[in-house]
Structures are given as C-alpha cells and as structure tokens.
Chains A and B, each alone.
Chain A
C-alpha cells in the first residue's frame, strides 16, 4: 500500500499527461484569482503557471489515490460543521467563569498510509473540537485534548473515515483496542 507508487503501470504516459493538465488547470485558476480579469497579466501568468506545474510535479509526484469528488462532497460539510463546533467549544471554555478544562494526552493508531493522507489527517485533527495533534510517530498520533470527558476517540475515527473517503483509500475495519 505504502510503496504502491513505485510500481510501474501500463498507462503511465497518459496518467502523467492527465496529472500535469490538472495541475496546470489548478494553477491557472489560482493565477486568475490573484490577478483578476486583466488579460495582459497572462504575459507573466502563462510562464509562471507552467513553471509552477512542473515544479509541483517534481516536488510531489502524482499519488496513487487521487481525490474523490464524492468524498470531497462528504468531507467539506463534515469539516465545516466540526470546526464550527470546535470554535463554539473553545468559546464556551474561555468565556465561562469557572475553568472547564481537563486536558490530557490520547494516543491513536491510524490506518491511513504514509504520505499526504496522513499529513492531511494530522493537520485537520487540530481543527476539530477539543483535539490537537501533538506528535506523529510512524502511524501513531499523540493527540492533546482539552477535555478527557469528550468522545475524542470517536471524533478522530470519524475524521479518519472521512479522510480515507476523500483520498479514495479503502478502509478495512480494524480491530479496536
């Protein structure tokens, strides 16, 4: 699973072309957002987009598991709702008179493969209610929580499931400890 992208496949050339086309599209969109509708800006824009696409392909080669559109449609509302809850949770704890904190460390073993999926997962943990990723050792994430009474484990598992769906990663049901 982890070393999958080293295995050569039949349609490599086609895939590389499709990937570079996608990146060029994304960087063009970013350029358009940055500069607005001024046509003359593309004199600089076209070379910049091409160089950026080439560099990004060199720095992060296309992964085996492309983003899933359906996964994104599930992930974005989930993320927005959860981070809003996280903000409300922090606001409640800061503004109430007595301190409602019961912090602690929780350890979690993730099934997500090494690479962008795992990094994305670790970064999003910090935006969910009551959790903050403090350490990542191989597949073991140490999470700092504001309140040990919260269902931290269930929250992180839900996030992991959504990230897996977003990145088209199959999740075999693992045995919970």
Chain B
C-alpha cells in the first residue's frame, strides 16, 4: 500500500476531525452523571456517551496512525471497553432493581 504524502495528510486531518467530534461526548457523559436525577438515567449517560466518545477518538487515532498494527490494538481496546461497560452497566442496573431503588419519574 503506497500512500502518498497527500493522502496521508488528508487521513491525518480526518483523524483530527474525529477526535474533535469525540470530545463533546465525554463532556456530556460527565454532565449527565452530575445532572441526571437517578441512578438509571445516570447509567444511560455514562455508558452511551462515553462509549461513543471513545469510539470517535479511537477512529481518529487509527486514521492518524497509518499502521495496521496500531489500528488493530486501538480497536481491541475499544471492543474491550464496550463489552466491559455494557456488562457492568447491566449489573449495576440489575442490582439497583433488586434493591428496589425506584426509577425517578416525571412529576
């Protein structure tokens, strides 16, 4: 694969865009953790926003790295975080249900 200098540069800039796209997701995850009213809604904010944010950053760094080995490792890390956070999210929600913590409702 002979990538010319221009394509490398375009890939690098696309990567930067992806990273910049990912940052607001992390910030909104934190804001949700602080602002949302109960444990279930906070779990929503934390798992979804952070995983998408990490996905964008992984994607951006992979575009910038220009190497298959680094890309594979980044994807492995993202996959691990995805599996781990969705599993622990379900576990926390299930335990909260078993402890009879009532979900917050409107009004």
A127 near B47 with CB under 8 A, answer yes
Which residues of chain B from 17 to 65 have a CB within 8 Å of any chain A CB? Answer: 24-25, 28-29, 31-32, 35-38, 40-41, 43-45, 47-49, 51-53, 55
Q: In this assembly, does A69 line the interface, its C-beta being within 8 Å of a C-beta of chain B? A: no
Report yes or no: B105 in contact with A126, Cβ–Cβ below 8 A: no
Most chain A CB neighbours (cut-off 10 Å) among B24, B55, B86, B97: B86
A sample of 5 more A-B contacts (CB under 8 A), given A94-B32, A132-B93, is A87-B49, A90-B32, A91-B24, A134-B90, A135-B93
Q: B49 contacts which chain A residues (CB < 8 A)?
A: 87, 90-91, 94
Q: Which 5 A-B pairs have the closest CB atoms?
A: A87-B52, A91-B28, A94-B32, A134-B93, A123-B86
Evaluate contact between B32 and A144: CB separation under 8 angstroms: no
Given A104-B105, A136-B94, A144-B40, CB of A33 within 8 Å of CB of B72: yes
Closest to B31 in A: A94
Closest chain B CB from A121 CB (angstroms): 11
B14 at the interface (CB under 8 A from A): no
Query: Which A residues lie within 8 Å of B3 (CB)?
Result: none
Closest A residue to B45 by beta carbon equals A90
**Structural contact, A86 and B48, CB atoms closer than 8 A:** yes
B90 touches A84 (CB 8 A): no
Nearest B-chain residue to A124, judged by Cβ: B86
- Complex interface: chain B residues within 8 A of A30 (CB): 76
Q: How far is the CB of B91 from chain A (nearest CB, A)?
A: 10
User: How extensive is the interface on chain A, given as a class?
Assistant: 35 or more
Q: Are B97 and A134 in contact (CB under 8 A)?
A: yes
Contacting residues, chain A, for B35 (C-beta < 8 A): 94
- Number of contact residues on B: which range applies? 35 or more
A129 to B52, CA, bound (A): 11
* Residue among A36, A37, A93, A104 facing the most chain B CB atoms (10 A cut-off): A93
Whether A103 touches B69, Cβ cut-off 8 Å, given contacts A83-B51, A86-B48, A123-B90, is no
Are A144 and B103 touching (Cβ within 8 A)? yes
The contact sample of 20 A-B pairs, CB cut-off 8 A, is: A33-B72, A33-B76, A37-B69, A86-B48, A87-B49, A87-B53, A93-B32, A95-B28, A99-B37, A103-B105, A124-B86, A126-B86, A129-B48, A132-B43, A134-B40, A134-B96, A134-B97, A135-B93, A136-B94, A146-B44
Task: Kindly identify, within residues 91 to 150 of chain A, every residue whose CB is under 8 Å from any CB belonging to chain B.
Answer: 91, 93-95, 99, 101-105, 122-124, 126-127, 129-130, 132-136, 142, 144, 146
Cβ A33 vs Cβ B105 within 8 A: no
Contact A132 B89 (CB under 8 A): yes
CB distance from A107 to the nearest CB of B (A): 12
A99 to B107, CA, bound (A): 12
